[in-house]
Amino acid sequence: MCGIVGYIGNKKAVPVLINGLLSLEYRGYDSAGIAVLNQSNNEYDLKVVKDKGRVKNLEANPELDTLLGTTGIAHTRWATHGMPSKENSHPHLDNSKKFAVVHNGIIENYVELRKILQDNGYTLYSETDTEVIPNLIHMNYNGNILEAVSKTMKLLKGSYAIEVISPLFPDKIIVAKKDSPLVVGIGKNENYVASDIPAVLAHTNNFYFLDEQEIAVVEKDSIKFYDINLKEVKKDIKNIEWDAESSEKNGFEDYMLKEIYEQPQAIRETIGSRLSLDEKVNLELGNIDFTKFDKIYIVACGTAMHAGIAAKYSLEKFCKIPTEVDMASEFRYRNPLVNEHTLCIFISQSGETADTIAALRLAKEAGATTISVVNVIGSSITRLSDYTIYTHAGPEIAVASTKAYTCQVTLLNILAIYIAEALGYNSEELNKFKVDLLELPDKVKDVLETMEQVKDFAEKVYTQKDLYFIGRGLDYAVSMEGSLKLKEISYIHSEAYAAGELKHGPIALIEKGTTVIGVATSPITTEKTLSNLEESITRGANVLVVTNQNIKNGKIDLMIHIPGTNPYLSPVLSVIPLQLFAYYIAKNKKLDVDKPRNLAKSVTVE
């Protein structure tokens, strides 16, 4: 995820900005840049140094020595629109080179805004969504920067945290935010701005937090806040006493927990402007002729493959094309029946998984059309695929994948609608599906409220040696993911079974005290799954059930209630208690949840 830092005071800005960027490095990024207002006599001049690569490279750039001013803004970029490059790096300037802007978030209507700017004679030099912002500020500027920023904010759809500096108001940094974090750090005769507290924690513990659609005017000895209509807002100072380690994780104990909690926002960004109620789904997939496909293969590894299993159901239902899901390591060696009538969908968080890359090469050689669903922009899989659609989960640092999974399932369902619409299948059901997708981020927030219940249950069962997850259909798909999460970080042996299979063998493993976790969200199969759970309870099992159904059964040890949703989307919600369960089991066992033994974040070997 991108990082923002700003400084205004009496010191040279560059060292403060560089240190701020370095303390945000853990978040992952691909480019870095700084803009500073240089002063000579009473004239101010805007200087920008930026490039793809590490902050260390930026620091080593001799041009940085020419940035002498005491007001500046800085940014680390995690590419979302356009590859990592100098042109796409922040800060971005407007055409008159009077306004420099850094931006975190995604401007969903940037295509439309680019068009408006181009129609008004502006030229855009980068592929980014961000570059529209300084130009819109320029277009709206009539000598009052607050009015220009407010008008610009009203044009932006999506999420943003922005900083603006200009020689036209050299004693100010203007900042604004919506759905992307931004704080103002308070110093003495100097002030700071940051997307994340760690960036400026070395200088201050006192902060103002911007609320949604607020603007701040930061000067070296004053800070004022306004709402989007420029009505002044009063704020309280918050004192933050974090140590360096917890501050890197934004106050969370581990990256995994932080990433679990980032899911509502990550899913919101993945949906972005791709989905709206009155229009067809918008994905960057050119002119694929979907009528030529008689088969879809989804190919991936680990959690990404589980996301594929969860998406198979909606692809078959809405697109009416038989869909198979394969592990990449199996697919590549089993002579799959792939030809020009096959659509192959590859899923990968990192975009660097060796088995998935090999399977992709094989599919291309056999003549298939290939679409990849990837999180890391510009990674190998995106370069090899015919088409790529990106999840916007942001960097995932914990080895155990959480937010990438829920974003993958979300995006694959959007892809299912896209293909269905391209094939001419428009139905009430499809429209309802769009509504349900748009409601997902808020529902994910609600599911996170189950945290305390899950934590208590984990405390009771963390000493177990074996644990079983059961469910049917999509609930089975989620059970597989829950079981993988638990194995990865708690080192407890665990299996996921299709609930109906239990009686064909695995039930022999259930004895007094065994823990069985049931996922039951389907109105069609919940009763059946409950019968299978009863069989386990009869044999003495402790039972936890994750459900959105109205279940009345006094023998279940704990029932986690999650919000109802479209059955095809239930994995996005039901997986969250299972992620939390694995997390708290591992915490009870005092294990390193972020770096489990024997595992790597990116598996680049066979």
- Residues classed as catalytic: 2, 601
Q: Is 149 in the site for ligand M6R (CB under 6 A)?
A: no
Q: Which helix (H) or strand (E) holds 107?
A: none
Rounded-to-10 torsion of CA 380, 387, 413, 486: -10
Cα–Cα distance for residue pair 401/185, rounded to 1 Å: 33
Least spacing, CB of residue 117 vs ligand M6R, in Å: 37
Instruction: Tell me whether residue 551 or residue 603 sits nearer to ligand M6R (CB atom).
Output: 603
Indicate which single residue of 216, 399, 545, 593 sits in contact with ligand M6R (rule: CB under 6 A): 399
- Cα 553 → chain centroid: 37
CB nearer ligand M6R, residue 14 or residue 344: 344
Q: Which residue is nearest to ligand M6R (CB)?
A: 302
Cβ distance to ligand M6R smaller for residue 178 or 392 = 392
Buried residues in 282-299 as b, exposed as e (16+ CB within 10 A): ebebeebebeebebbbbb
Q: Is the Cβ of residue 327 or residue 559 nearer to ligand M6R in the bound state?
A: 327
- Give whole-number Cα distances, 32 to 72, 79, 306, 451, in Å: 14, 11, 35, 36
Query: Which two tokens mark 224?
Result: 């004022």
Note whether 525 binds ligand M6R by CB under 6 A: no
Per the listing, tokens 């299709």 go with 498
Considering the rule CB under 6 A, would residue 407 count as an interface residue with ligand M6R?
no
Of 53-61, 184-192, 396-404, 575-583, the window that binds ligand M6R (rule: CB under 6 A) is 396-404
Total residues contacting ligand M6R (rule CB under 6 A)? 16
- Cβ 185 vs Cβ 196: under 8 Å: no
Per-residue contact flags (x/-) with ligand M6R for residues 344 to 363, judged by CB under 6 A: ----xxx--x--x-------
Distance CA 31, CA 46 (A): 20
Of 277 and 605, CB closest to ligand M6R: 605
Question: In whole angstroms, how close is the CB of 593 to ligand M6R at the nearest point?
Answer: 11
Measured from the CB of residue 328, what is the shortest distance to ligand M6R in angstroms?
A: 8
Task: Give the footprint of ligand M6R on residues 293-332 (CB under 6 A).
Answer: 301-304
Structure tokens at 480: 């597989």
Mark residues 440-469: x for contact with ligand M6R by CB under 6 A, - for none: ------------------------------
What is the H or E stretch that residue 143 is in? none
Question: For residue 595, how many other CB atoms are within 10 A of its CB?
Answer: 17
Residue whose token pair is 């803009």:
35
Comparing CA positions, the residue from 498, 502, 497 lying closest to residue 538 is 502
The residue among 29 and 583 lying less far from ligand M6R, judged by its C-beta, is 583
**From 104, 401, 479, 515, residue interacting with ligand M6R (rule: CB under 6 A):** 401
Buried b (16+ CB within 10 A) or exposed e, 308-346: bbbbbbbbebbbebebbbbbbbebbeeebebeeebbbbb
Please say which residue, 170 or 308, places its beta carbon nearer to ligand M6R: 308
Non-local (6+) Cβ contacts of 241 within 8 A are 205
Give the nearest distance from C-beta 150 to ligand M6R in angstroms: 41
Cβ-contact 92, 126 below 8 angstroms:
yes
The residue (of 101 and 305) whose beta carbon lies closer to ligand M6R is 305
488 binds ligand M6R (CB under 6 A): yes
Give the strands of the sheet with 493-498, arranged side by side: 493-498, 466-471, 515-520, 542-547, 558-561
* Position among 400, 477, 499, 569 found at the interface with ligand M6R (CB under 6 A): 400
22 counts as binding ligand M6R under rule CB under 6 A: no
Print the binding letters for residues 585-604 with ligand M6R: x by CB under 6 A, - otherwise.
--------------x--xx-
| 326, 351 Cβ separation under 8 angstroms | no
What residue ranges bind ligand M6R (CB under 6 A)? 301-304, 348-350, 353, 356, 399-401, 488, 599, 602-603
